[in-house]
């Protein structure tokens, strides 16, 4: 592990005190031939994303996939076994009939290519029903996170990992490790940074939350999740294009940083909100925005459950300040973006479009109301949806 060297700026200490670095360079640190004799384990898209998040320090203090003691502690107590806050088990599933071949060091592959190693320290049986009930609050297979859980293998492999190379993917200009994001924050002299998690295009209500936060802090880390999502979410390439046109037109360049967050989406609602906040601390953010139904799906979670869960930890344990916002919308009578805290009018005065209605309008080539979406963003989305039709 490599400890992050602090400068004259006071960035938050990574969770656990050190920013984990498990990236090794083939050809510099090792030759691939040294691993050719090892058993190979092909990673799913989610597990490959988890490998990167662990190895680059985004999931500090984890140095590998969880063992059974940590796994059960996270499920039951929202903490690792040593008491460190942690909300979602980061595990590596394999099918039971394959598990026996994975002992000692294993070569990890993705799309058939070597991507890293796992030093297997433990194998244990997944308690899937327990995990589903506690982490996702449901065992309903219609929940995408639960569906992925039950579709994966029943045995979890634990142990420290290495990553051969940071996969810059489709967005190399915006794909930064936690250490690299911290370097940008330092170079810009930001003493405080608010991170915003998104898996959707930014509409005017999101913009309002971000700009309110920017009145309080020095910089905005716009940190869209670009890992695996469910099929009806807007593709990452379209979202990135929408973010870029929005930032270019409506945000101060020196106070914003667009950088991708390569994790896979689990749709674990409150539990995932905690994971998103803790990992953004590792990226160097001092503040994190949590709005309505963060990381939710369907009606599995209460509107503000993702805000209330942070009461399980002290501010000192979290090490990042949570900015809690209520539902924001455009009020036609107030003539501006508001929330229930600032608007006295009932819903008949509010412009609120469901995701289904937005998609219908985009597919039909219709304009979105300017109170709901910036014109430039709507044009990007409309072009993408019409290509799909």
Contacts 24+ apart (CB under 8 A), 30-37: 32/114, 35/105, 35/107, 35/114, 35/117, 36/107
DSSP string, 5-50: ---SS-PPPPTTSSB---B--BTTTB-GGGGTTS-EEEPPHHHHHH
pLDDT digits over 161-174, tens only?
999 999 998 999 99
Contacts 24+ apart (CB under 8 A), 311-318: 312/78, 312/85, 312/274, 313/78, 313/85, 313/274, 317/85, 318/85, 318/277, 318/278, 318/281
Supply the pLDDT for residue 7: 45
Q: Which tokens go with 79?
A: 């903490």
Supply the pLDDT for residue 352: 87
Q: What domains appear along the chain, each with residue ranges and CATH number?
A: 32-163 (3.10.400.10), 178-388 (3.40.50.620)
Low-confidence ranges of the chain (pLDDT < 70): 1-9, 29, 389
Looking at residue 170, what DSSP letter applies? T
Give strand pairing partners of 60.
none
- Backbone phi, psi, residue 310, to 5°: -65, -15
The number of C-alpha atoms within 13 Å of 284 and in the hemisphere containing its C-beta is 33
pLDDT digits over 112-125, tens only?
999 999 999 999 99
**Mean pLDDT over the full length of the chain:** 94
Give strand pairing partners of 220.
194, 256
Q: How far apart are the C-alpha atoms of 219 and 254, rounded to whole Å?
A: 8
Tokens 């270019």, located at residue: 248
Question: Is the separation of the CB atoms in 294 and 305 below 8 Å?
Answer: no
Q: How far apart are the C-alpha atoms of 294 and 303, rounded to whole Å?
A: 8
DSSP string, 224-270: EB-S---TTSPPHHHHHHHHHHHHHHHS-GGGEEE--B-PPP---TH
Q: How far apart are the C-alpha atoms of 154 and 94, rounded to whole Å?
A: 6
Residue 120 parent element (H or E)? strand 113-125
Q: How far apart are the C-alpha atoms of 94 and 15, rounded to whole Å?
A: 28
Q: How far apart are the C-alpha atoms of 107 and 36, rounded to whole Å?
A: 8
DSSP string, 335-387: TEEE-TTT--S-GGGEE---HHHHHHHHHTTPPPPTTTS-HHHHHHHHHHHHH
Question: Is the separation of the CB atoms in 42 and 109 below 8 Å?
Answer: yes
Question: Is the separation of the CB atoms in 85 and 142 below 8 Å?
Answer: no
CA 329 from chain center: how many Å?
A: 24
- pTM equals 0.94
Strands 40-42 and 105-110: parallel
Supply the pLDDT for residue 389: 63
Looking at residue 89, what DSSP letter applies? -
Question: Which residues have a catalytic role annotated?
Answer: 199-200
Q: How far apart are the C-alpha atoms of 290 and 295, rounded to whole Å?
A: 9
Q: How far apart are the C-alpha atoms of 57 and 19, rounded to whole Å?
A: 5
Tokens 């003691």, located at residue: 69
Q: How far apart are the C-alpha atoms of 182 and 4, rounded to whole Å?
A: 9
């Amino acid at each position: 592990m490599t400890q992050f060297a602090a400068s004259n700026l006071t960035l938050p200490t990574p969770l656990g005190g050190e920013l984990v670095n498990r990236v090794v360079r083939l050809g510099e640190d090792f030759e691939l031939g040294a691993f050719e004799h090892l058993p190979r384990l092909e990673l799913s898209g989610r597990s490959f994303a988890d490998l990167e998040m662990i190895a680059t320090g985004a999931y500090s203090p984890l140095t590998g996939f969880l063992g059974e003691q940590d796994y059960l502690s996270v499920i039951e107590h929202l903490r690792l076994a040593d008491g460190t806050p942690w909300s979602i088990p980061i595990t590596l599933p394999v099918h039971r009939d394959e598990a026996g071949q994975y002992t000692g060091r294993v070569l990890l592959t993705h799309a058939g290519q070597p991507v890293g190693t796992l030093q297997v320290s433990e194998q244990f049986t997944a308690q899937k029903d327990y995990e589903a009930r506690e982490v996702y609050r449901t065992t309903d297979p219609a929940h995408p996170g639960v569906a992925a859980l039950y579709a994966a293998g029943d045995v979890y492999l634990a142990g420290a990992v290495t990553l051969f190379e940071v996969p810059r993917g489709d967005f190399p200009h915006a794909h930064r490790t936690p250490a690299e994001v911290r370097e940008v924050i330092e170079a810009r002299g930001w003493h405080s940074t608010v991170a915003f998690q998104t898996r959707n295009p930014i509409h005017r209500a999101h913009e309002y939350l971000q700009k309110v936060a920017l009145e309080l802090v020095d910089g905005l880390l716009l940190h869209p999740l670009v890992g695996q999502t469910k099929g009806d979410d807007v593709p990452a390439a379209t979202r990135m294009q929408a973010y870029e046109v929005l930032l270019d037109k409506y945000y101060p360049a020196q106070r914003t940083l667009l950088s991708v967050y390569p994790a896979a989406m689990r749709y674990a609602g409150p539990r995932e909100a905690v994971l998103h906040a803790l990992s953004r601390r590792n990226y160097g953010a001092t503040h994190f925005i949590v709005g309505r139904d963060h990381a939710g799906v369907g009606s599995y979670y209460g509107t503000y459950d993702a805000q209330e869960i942070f009461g399980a930890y002290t501010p000192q344990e979290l090490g990042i300040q949570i900015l809690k916002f209520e539902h924001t919308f455009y009020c036609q009578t107030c003539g501006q973006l508001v929330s229930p805290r600032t608007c006295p009018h009932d819903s008949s005065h509010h412009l609120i479009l469901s995701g289904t209605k937005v998609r219908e309008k985009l597919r039909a080539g219709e304009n979105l109301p300017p109170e709901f979406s910036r014109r430039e963003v709507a044009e990007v989305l409309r072009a993408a949806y019409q290509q799909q039709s």
